[in-house]
A and B are shown apart, each in its own frame.
Chain A
Amino acid sequence: MSKQRIENSFPDLSANNYSITSPATTEYNCIAWAAGDTEKWWWPDPLYVDYWPSEAPRTDSLQSFIKAYETLDYAVCDSVVYEDGFEKVAIYVDYAGKPTHAARQLSSGYWTSKLGDWEDIEHNVLNSIIGSQYGSVATILKRPTKKPSSS
């Protein structure tokens, strides 16, 4: 059932290019998941319902989302290709340029996305979830991978 509803909403996903990696939950969304947070729903809504970093403007513009990830040491870059020593985040926007989704790159080079209230998935390429729901990829950001502290 889960796979069927996912593939109905994202027709470019098929059995051989993605996998479900978590149960469905409303506790966090894709923006939080890309930021490494599984406890909050991030969104700059005008009613101040959800979490948004105080250093970023509370508007649903691409610049605001870039600023939000910059607070986590990400910086805009120009390549989706996996680079050893870095982790990357992609921001998707709709036809009007408003952010819709974010995905985070894994060390395998694949991407991980939380689909709204649904599950987390791992997908081979960013373009497998472009379309009417999430629009297209607008920006890539990267930051150095945190090295495990030595004890």
Chain B
Amino acid sequence: MATPKIWDKCLSHLEDELPPQQFNTWIRPLQAVEESSQLRLLAPNRFVMDWVKQKFLKRVDELVANLSSQNVNVLLEVGSDERWRTTVSQNDKATGKPSRNTWPGTLNPSFTFDNHVEGKSNQLARAAAYQVGENPGGAYNPLFIYGGVGLGKTHLMQAAGNLIMDRNLHATVAYIHSERFVAGMVKALQHNTINEFKRYYRSLDALLIDDIQFFGGKSHSQEEFFHTFNTLLDGKRQVVITSDRFHKEITGVQERLISRFGSGLTVPIDAPELETRVAILSMKAQAKGIELSDEVAFFVARQVRSNVRELEGALHRILASARFTGKPIDIHLAREALKDLMVFQERQITIQNIQKTVAEYFKIRVSDLHSKRRIRQITRPRQMAMCLAKELTNLSLPDIGDTFGGRDHTTVLHACRKIDELLKLDAKTKEDYENLQKLLIG
């Protein structure tokens, strides 16, 4: 259905007149139905209707009166125009495969490569996922993506799935969290539909299974997954798996399954570096119709370092604050909106706190970190503490060196390089570093 012309013009005026948040929140959800001398605006619920009536209806009336050659009455009510509803894909009928509506496993179309931000931390995983999307069932099968929480594993996995479907309209791709896979299987056993369950998963062109570590200790589900996995791989169909840890470190999962996880391509995702965090924030803001200045984006990205979800949480706070106060999003508003978070971080992240936390973690004394002792049990924690101080505080390198027994800034630089190198090569160092970050950041 074509958008009504008068409403179209109104929208364009209102978009110019209102702040983007207000326009996107209150005006965009309205559906318009034009009937002879009447424009019916349908709000999704009474709350929106009341708000629009109170704040914007007068202006809409004026615009309609100005933009229309005849007398048009504007009517605002709660409702939904059936013609706006999208039709359900007929792919399943066309392929004759079991319906995807029977079992959970719907891809989220909003996860694409276009809205994924590439950085050093996810470059490899992104390239691999893209290849899988372009060429499913090819060389990277299974694709195993691992990394900490909130770093974008699910986004990449689903972007690969969406690309597969873009390239082949008839492809059947299912995304499922491993917990839902287990729950679905239990339900199928209870309802005596386990054969349909098996047939569905084994008939897919691509299976994307998220957070596989949740399979730990669930031997029956692992058994079923093992057979599904083999069937798909034997049929040159794609499997993508994510986990919060390297496949060999998953506990409570059968050895044969773990070894198969590693039989394709295994790629890590690390925490995003500052520039990537800035880019992610800007893109997420843009998706909500907001332009974020570099100053604000850098400010937020410096406050929130651990993962992408927390960046999103911070953005929610800032947007809510801007909506409430009606003020533009600048550094003052962002600082005020994130006050609670900053108080918490400032309390936690001092160089003394870093040294104390590292010393406690490695069971050494804080004075050891300040000392000149050069045995491995002391130097490694010291280097790690220096590296954390560089990452988590705004202190200069000479200042950091000073707090470690009057060391030179080149010592700090060397320590950071050493730890960076070890993070790539040594799983234990990586684990220690991540644990310390968690202890300090929360």
Real binding pair? no
Q: Which residues of A contact B (CB under 8 A)?
A: none
